[in-house]
Amino acid sequence: MLSRSAARLLTTQTRAFSTTSTRQTKVAVLGAGGGIGQPLSLLLKIDPLVSSLSLYDIRGAPGVAADVSHIDTDSTVKGYTADQLDDALDGAKVVVIPAGVPRKPGMTRDDLFNTNASIVRDLAASVGRVAPEAHILVISNPVNSTVPIVAKTLEKAGVFDPRRLFGVTSLDVVRAARFLGEVSGNDPKNTVIPVVGGHSGATIVPLLSQNAYGKSISGETYSKLVHRIQFGGDEVVKAKDGAGSATLSMAYAGAKFANAILRGLNGEKGVITPTFVKSELFADQGVDFFSSNVELGKNGVEKIYPVGPLSAEEQKLLEACLPDLKKNIEKGYAFVA
């Protein structure tokens, strides 16, 4: 039996995901057997907006599906083996991709490119063929390159719609709220800030000046906080000591973002969150993809917001972000070309 605190947590989590609309959506998770895939599947099972959960992996997905399927929410769950990808994708409205290898200490996200680029490209090709209208949420690293890889792959297949492709950067937003909350002594719900740019090191640009508590942080405290947000992933990789990178906080952040996508699809207005999308904001500098606040709706991306007012420090962070991001995006494009 669940302890009272665990039961309360689950109730709160379910409530955090709920909305007045009815659920109607098939969601597929590609990489569902992994460190992120398993807890993400659990959280999607308790999201009231998911009607059917399709769990695919090259190993282990039927087991995860059998386990998660016993949870007493009203959605169905099915697991698929390596040769059943098309069945897993059939009819999916949302496809979340956490497939691929994670970092070990000493590696950068870009070091994952050689392995993950082809995994993501091949999965994207299948999504383009079987579920061309699906909203695709890319978690696999390096996000700055894997998202352009998916875009080019879909473009080649003639089915790319930039409104339906998202790099998941919500863990940076979750970390920023948590870390600013810690430094300023506040509940993270009051310290939410936009994190813009990309998803690795210097390309992660937290806009602390856009929060009342963040605005007052300066000096060494500011530099340390920015560094912690930019390199939060390294903290986890180091602590896991060879056993992988963030999985539980990522599953939480991924489920939160998937819920935002589903609320938008259901017609809810005012669903706004940062995500890495095809964007005109810095396209004149050769940066075709950029994360900034995006309004989500029935068609996916409804509106891309500009970064807003920046402090002098944030302007410098942005200047450092753009050239790196451009290189990462071009590397992704070149892989598919």
Ligand X SMILES: O=C([O-])CC(=O)C(=O)O
Residues with catalytic function = 199
Should residue 58 be labelled a site residue for ligand NAI when binding is judged by CB under 6 A?
yes
CB 291 within 8 A of CB 195: yes
Should residue 245 be labelled a site residue for ligand NAI when binding is judged by CB under 6 A?
yes
Among 42, 101, 125, 281, binds ligand NAI (CB under 6 A): 101
For ligand NAI, give the closer residue by CB, 245 or 293.
Answer: 245
CB 250 within 8 A of CB 97: no
Distance CA 48, CA 59 (A): 27
Binding residue per annotation — 32?
A: yes
Nearest distance from C-beta of residue 146 to ligand NAI, angstroms? 8
Residue 236 interface partner, choices ligand NAI, ligand X, none, CB cut-off 5-8 Å depending on type: ligand X
Should residue 78 be labelled a site residue for ligand X when binding is judged by CB under 6 A?
no
Binding residue per annotation — 140?
A: yes
Should residue 168 be labelled a site residue for ligand NAI when binding is judged by CB under 6 A?
yes
Should residue 140 be labelled a site residue for ligand NAI when binding is judged by CB under 6 A?
yes
Among 116, 141, 144, 259, binds ligand X (CB under 6 A): 141
Binding residue per annotation — 129?
A: no
Helix orientation angle between 219-230 and 232-240, rounded to the nearest 10 degrees: 60
Cα 25 to Cα 14, 65, 143, 262, distances in angstroms = 16, 17, 25, 8
Should residue 96 be labelled a site residue for ligand X when binding is judged by CB under 6 A?
no
Should residue 244 be labelled a site residue for ligand NAI when binding is judged by CB under 6 A?
yes
Return the C-alpha torsion angle 9, 98, 244, 276, nearest 10: -90
Nearest distance from C-beta of residue 212 to ligand NAI, angstroms? 27
If you write DSSP's letter for every residue of 295-332 in order, what string do you get?
Answer: EEETTEEEEE-------HHHHHHHHHHHHHHHHHHHHH
CB 144 within 8 A of CB 104: no
Grouping H, G, I as helix, E, B as strand and the rest as coil, residue 252 is helix
Residues of the shown chain interacting with ligand X in the complex, contacts defined by CB under 6 A: 102-103, 109, 141, 171, 233, 236-237, 245-246
